[in-house]
Chains A and B, each alone.
Chain A
């Protein structure tokens, strides 16, 4: 298995996140270079639901550890699973989602195995058998190229770095499925999830994974007006973000904050509504593929980095835009 490229599937009780499908796509491409196959690792309940989705993205093998234990003790079980299997089977490397959970697991696996981690990666190539990764740094002002001295190569890939592409029909149908069990030592049982609280935004994609993000700032003037941002996001099947000014005012949860002290997002489309574009905000969204700004102040710095800017009152523009988008979608 030494040439295989593994993927740790990020999921919520079997609901596979979009970034997992992007990781599988990237693993397939890398495996073509290493001469191995893509392998998916799945821990926790929900494989019945996840399996058919994962299979479409073409892993040659899936390693599944079913059971509640895998989630009850927070991240430690996943660390035990990945570290144990990597030590045992020595793949070329492992791809993790570069989101808080994925990076946490990668860091602990690396520390346990004496390996290194490439974090916040947006592109990988292979040179001389080792990965060469790109990482837009310092708020997206520069791109750093980095590598690891030795395998196993642990790599955290940012959401939306590569598009998710299903495997060609020519590749063999369903992957080989291997059920594994992991013995959890006492040390892995010390942190326990005692409660799960869902507060907001259920049903919308997470801001750091969504291909389209609509963010609201202080220009919204009132928390109730975030409904305008949410409606536009929903029309584009997007996630909702917020500036720090909006979060500090208590209008939207911190989990949605974009910027230096919030999430770094790289969506295909980022729409800033009533946001001035302070350097700390730009640090979190500058690498978006296409940027749209709606702001009433023509001198606002956000326009300097927008592909398409609208100078106008958001209370006029945004509802009409949402309506127009829904109208055009309905026509097709």
Chain B
């Protein structure tokens, strides 16, 4: 049975770049940093493409955010092999918290006949990992999170949910929302042909009104959570360094650990 798959991706700042928060509203100043497709989202995209290759069907990449979300995140997913994109973009979304983002995405996805909605299990910037389960709830669907292995068999989807000492095998009837963990696969690099054809793939651009989103439930004002301030974290490390040339570093380290009450 061919699968209709949606994969949600977020544009995130490259870690190596300095992140700067807007001093006025404490949102991320997205113009000041190099942006990339979220590394965990790349794994979700790869998983979607593999499911499509195994079962047939189509992969739609969905992203919410300003222009750069499309340029940096969705285009990369298209060049990896996704078939089409939906870009939700509207100034009214600025400052939305994780629950508001999940609500907005749910309005875009609701009513479309997707069998599977894949997400990265967490972004690499704010990393709340609230969006995928909240999205599942808003859509009234089962949410299968922390997935290391995803397989589809007939009308059912099965995942291995990663735990500290092993994993749980969880099964649900589709449709379902899946949060894909880092390490589930090794994402492919876009081919030259992929990059060329990505430019011609269909992109559906939606605003808040077209998607049927209640503007009072998104944006800075519509979000329940609110950032009050940001401060550099004070971290005074003692930076004691001992060389093991004399072969007694383990004694000095044991002394340190004992003074700190770890022994």
Contact = CB atoms under 8 A, between A and B. Distances in A.
Given A191-B170, A199-B167, A139 B15 contact: yes
Interface of A: 74-76, 79, 100, 103-108, 110-112, 115-120, 132, 136-150, 187, 190-202, 206-208, 212, 236, 247, 254-257, 260-262, 264, 268-269, 279-280, 283, 286-287, 290-292, 294, 298, 303-313, 316-317, 320-321, 324-325, 328-329
B162 A254 contact: yes
Given A116-B97, A191-B143, A255-B162, A108 B133 contact: yes
Given A149-B225, A310-B244, 15 more contacts: A74-B144, A111-B133, A111-B134, A115-B224, A119-B98, A142-B232, A144-B227, A145-B230, A147-B226, A195-B169, A196-B166, A236-B257, A254-B181, A304-B237, A307-B240
Nearest to B236: A307
B229 A145 contact: yes
Contacts of A117: 98-99, 128, 130, 224-225
Contact of B170 (A105, A149, A193, A269): A193
Interface string B216-254: 000000011111111111010111111111010111111
The 3 A-B residue pairs with the shortest CB-CB distance in the complex, in nearest-first order: A116-B224, A312-B244, A111-B137
Contact of B244 (A100, A137, A260, A313): A313
B164 A255 contact: yes
Contacts of B260: 269, 290
B251 A311 contact: no
Q: Which of A79, A206, A254 neighbours the largest number of chain B CB atoms within 10 Å of its CB?
A: A254
Contact of B262 (A138, A202, A236): A236
A198 B133 contact: no
Contacts of B26: 144
Contacts of B232: 141-143
B254 A190 contact: no
Nearest to A269: B262
Nearest to A192: B171
Given A255-B163, A321-B250, A324-B251, A307 B40 contact: no
A108 B242 CA distance: 49
A207 B128 contact: no
Contact of A325 (B136, B223, B263): B263
Contacts of B103: 111
Contacts of A268: 262
Nearest to A305: B237
Nearest to A196: B168
B194 to A, nearest CB: 23
B136 to A, nearest CB: 7
A277 to B, nearest CB: 12
B133 A197 contact: no
B110 interface: no
A238 to B, nearest CB: 9
B189 interface: no
Interface residues of B, number: 86
A275 to B, nearest CB: 16
A143 B233 contact: yes
Nearest to B38: A261
B183 to A, nearest CB: 4
A142 B128 contact: no
Nearest to B228: A145
Contacts of A260: 15, 39, 124
29 contacts: A74-B144, A79-B137, A100-B146, A103-B128, A111-B102, A115-B224, A117-B99, A137-B126, A140-B235, A142-B232, A143-B231, A145-B228, A146-B227, A148-B224, A150-B224, A191-B176, A197-B168, A202-B165, A255-B165, A264-B127, A269-B257, A291-B237, A292-B257, A306-B241, A307-B240, A308-B253, A310-B244, A311-B249, A324-B254
B173 interface: yes
B227 A107 contact: no
Nearest to A127: B228
B125 interface: yes
Nearest to A104: B133
B170 A194 contact: yes
A311 B241 contact: yes
Contacts of A143: 230-233
B152 interface: no
B140 interface: yes
B98 A107 contact: yes
B182 interface: yes
Given A104-B133, A141-B232, A190 B172 contact: yes
A160 B164 CA distance: 17
Nearest to B238: A307
B240 A309 contact: yes
A304 B236 CA distance: 11
A308 to B, nearest CB: 5
A279 B18 CA distance: 11
Given A306-B237, A316-B247, A200 B165 contact: yes
A193 B247 CA distance: 52
B8 interface: no
